Amino acid sequence: MPELPDITAYIRALEARIVGQAIEKIRLASPFLLRTVEPRIEEAEGRRVRELRRIGKRIAIGVEGDLWLVLHLMIAGRLHWKQAGAKLAGRQILAAFDFPNGSLVLTEAGTKHRASLYVVHEDGLEELDPGGIDVFNSTLESFRTALTSENRTLKRALTDPRIISGIGNAYSDEILHAAQLSPIAMTQKLKPEEWERLFTATRSTLRRWIDQFSAEAESRFPEKVTAFRKGMAVHGRYGETCPRCGETIQRIRYADNETNYCARCQTGGKVLADRSLSRLLGSDWPRTLDELEALKRR
Ligand SMILES: [Zn+2]
């Protein structure tokens, strides 16, 4: 699922291309994508884009006349920048937004139809925001308050969009490795120095990837957004070696996903029992990413 660094890169790339441009035409290729009826999507046609905003893991495109197109890519949705008027060929294509200088094309792999588009007025944006804090506008204290609002595992708390904004499976793995904390540690049991490590690691890990992807987005549109990035320490690296200590990276599997961690760096050398563990943890573990991402504001 595109997370904060990926969404930021998309927004940077789009700002350079579509702010100030008029949407000439919106072509919907899938009946499942658009989730709102009013205001009508056609009302956005002929209007210029004023600004882009990130709302959690959503991309909001604001056009003249107080209309917002809010895209949620979920796990398999991706954006592409094509030549103006590009043909909508292929099952994966959900929609195209045509501008004079190019077409923004939305695709989604698979058949689950999770990606969504909402058309709202500005006062409807807040309702689409699951409400998690922005870690770059937080202090250690507000970060700690948000994450301890419920006693959760760190993995669950970091990936809950109602608690913290923009983090999913990939970057939570990277953050916990950088902080040298166990994914199953409970938030209400962390010591003060562990909070400091977690807060610093959350900001520095996200900052590093945001900076890298934003710089890349300056020169070309982010066409290859994936959860598995070269240079990640643990995520997607089960069985490979930890860049910090050289130990083999472990995993906890659940649904069709997994959490990766280094036992020596994060759990005092203890290898956590895979599937039975995720069952045991029940609601303290993210069940499916879709389910977690669909959580609404409290
Ligand atoms: Zn290690």
Residues that place a CB less than 5 A from ion ligand 1 = 242, 244-245, 247, 262, 264-265
* Euclidean distance between CA atoms 64 and 140, whole angstroms: 38
Whether the CB-CB separation of 100 and 21 falls below 8 Å is answered with: yes
Expressed in angstroms and rounded, the spacing between residue 133 Cα and the centre of ligand 1 is 29
**What are 153's two structure tokens?**
């595992």
Q: What is the mean pLDDT of residues 60-81?
A: 96
**Mean pLDDT of the 194-207 span:** 98
Question: Are the C-beta atoms of 102 and 112 separated by less than 8 Å?
Answer: no
**pLDDT, tens digit, 9 for 90 and up, residues 16-25:** 999 999 999 9
Q: How far is the CA of 251 from the centre of ligand 1 (A)?
A: 13
pLDDT of residue 42: 97
| Length reported for the chain | 298
Q: Is residue 39 reached through a cis peptide bond, with omega within 30 degrees of 0 on the bond before it?
A: yes
Rounded mean pLDDT, 35-44: 97
**What is the residue-averaged pLDDT of the chain?**
93
**pTM for the model:** 0.93
Mean pLDDT of 116-123: 97
For residue 236, the CA-to-ligand 1 centroid distance in Å is: 15
Q: What confidence category does residue 73 fall into, taking pLDDT thresholds of 50, 70 and 90?
A: very high
Would you say 10 and 222 are in contact if contact means Cβ atoms under 8 Å apart? Answer: yes
Mean pLDDT, to the nearest integer, of 150-176?
Answer: 95
Report pLDDT for 19: 98
Strand order in the sheet with 58-63: 49-55, 58-63, 67-72, 116-120
Q: What mean pLDDT do residues 26-37 have?
A: 94
Query: Residues 271-287: what's their mean pLDDT?
Result: 69
What's the 182 CA to ligand 1 centre distance in angstroms? 12
Condensed to tens digits (0 to 9), the pLDDT of residues 205-234 reads 999 999 999 999 988 999 989 989 999 999
